[in-house]
Chains A and B, each alone.
Chain A
Amino acid sequence: MDQAAILDHQFVIAAYCVTWAIQLGYLAWLGLKWRAQKRKAASSARNPH
């Protein structure tokens, strides 16, 4: 494998990894938000004013 082919391969892998990092990072943040919302709803159901 020549130097250019190795670099091409590294750039493709970097692009795919960045894509997945962004998507999965957002999904994780959404999961945390969902959990916080669920806890808030549960606590307000337990302590109604």
Chain B
Amino acid sequence: MKKFAISLYAAITVALMIWGFYQAIYVAPDDALQGYVFRIIYYHVPSASVAFLFFTISLIGSIGYLAYRRTRPAWAQIADAWALAGAEVGVVFCSVVLTTGPLWGRRAWGIWWTWDARLTTTLVLWLIYVSYLLLRRFAAGPQVQTLAAVLGIFGALDVPIVYMSNRWWRTQHPAPVFGGSEGSGMAPSMARVLLWNMLAWLCWGLLILVLRYTVERKHQQSAAQEALEALAANS
């Protein structure tokens, strides 16, 4: 039953991805100013939204780990697995943002990159979470999870800064389309395509997030088993 539900969810996700791609390439109209290249937005914006969501999951997991590490170690391990999964999948989506953005910028602005507030804060966010993953991968010792949780919390503080950067400062990055100043917004025919792609990438992201969480839980269980066996061998 569980296997069937996962397969069904995966099939729906793939169908949504295909539908989103079809809508973005064949149905959405060209932008009046930017023309055809505007279609990059249909992958760029959903990836950014999903990255923010997963960094928030990582934040909640990190706080949960710090809160329960002494009182409820089993809960703390679950929270830590969510924190790691959120950070890692968030980095994947953030990498998509940082590659599709410059591709759009090259055509729209004539440059690949500029040190504007939105771009710089996004790069800093990516670097913080890459350092989080490197810490988890290469550091050893009992404090690694605690240090990673603290770093995860500090990293997540950059998420609202990235989100607000093109509201707080004048940036070369386009002004916010949704929830921006008066007159901002998108034609319904474009907004519909964007929402389809947001739904598709959210479903895809949740699928790989749960997969990553499961792998981490298995890793934790085998590490705990190895530790028990080592203790039994020494006593």
Name A residues whose Cβ lies closer than 8 Å to a Cβ of B. Answer: 4-5, 7-9, 11-12, 14-16, 18-19, 22-23, 26-27, 30, 33-34, 37-38, 40-41, 44, 48-49
Task: Check A8/B43 contact, CB under 8 A, given A14-B103, A37-B218.
Answer: no
Query: Lowest 10 CB-CB distances: which A-B pairs, in order?
Result: A8-B36, A8-B37, A15-B100, A15-B40, A15-B103, A37-B218, A26-B92, A49-B229, A12-B39, A11-B107
Least CB distance from B37 to A in Å reads 4
Least CB distance from A49 to B in Å reads 5
Closest A residue to B36 using CB positions: A8
In terms of DSSP, what is the predominant structure of the interface of chain B?
Answer: helix
In terms of DSSP, what is the predominant structure of the interface of chain A?
Answer: helix
Our count of residue pairs bridging A and B at CB distance below 8 angstroms stands at 76
Closest A residue to B232 using CB positions: A49
Contact indicator A12/B233 (Cβ below 8 Å): no
A7–B212 Cα gap in the complex (Å)?
37
Contact indicator B37/A12 (Cβ below 8 Å): yes
Q: Residues of B within 8 Å of A, CB-based: how many?
A: 34
Contact indicator B36/A5 (Cβ below 8 Å): yes
Contact indicator B37/A30 (Cβ below 8 Å): no
Contact indicator A37/B100 (Cβ below 8 Å): no
B118 cross-chain contacts in A, Cβ below 8 A: none
Of B65-73, B149-157, B219-227, which stretch is located at the interface?
B219-227
Closest A residue to B221 using CB positions: A41
B89 cross-chain contacts in A, Cβ below 8 A: 26
Given contacts A8-B37, A15-B44, 5 further A-B pairs with CB under 8 A are: A5-B36, A11-B40, A22-B95, A37-B219, A44-B222
A12–B21 Cα gap in the complex (Å)?
12
Per the 8 Å Cβ criterion, residues 93-115 of B in contact with A are 95-96, 99-100, 103-104, 106-107
Least CB distance from B66 to A in Å reads 26
A44's contact among B92, B211, B225, by CB below 8 Å, is which? B225
Contact indicator B36/A12 (Cβ below 8 Å): yes
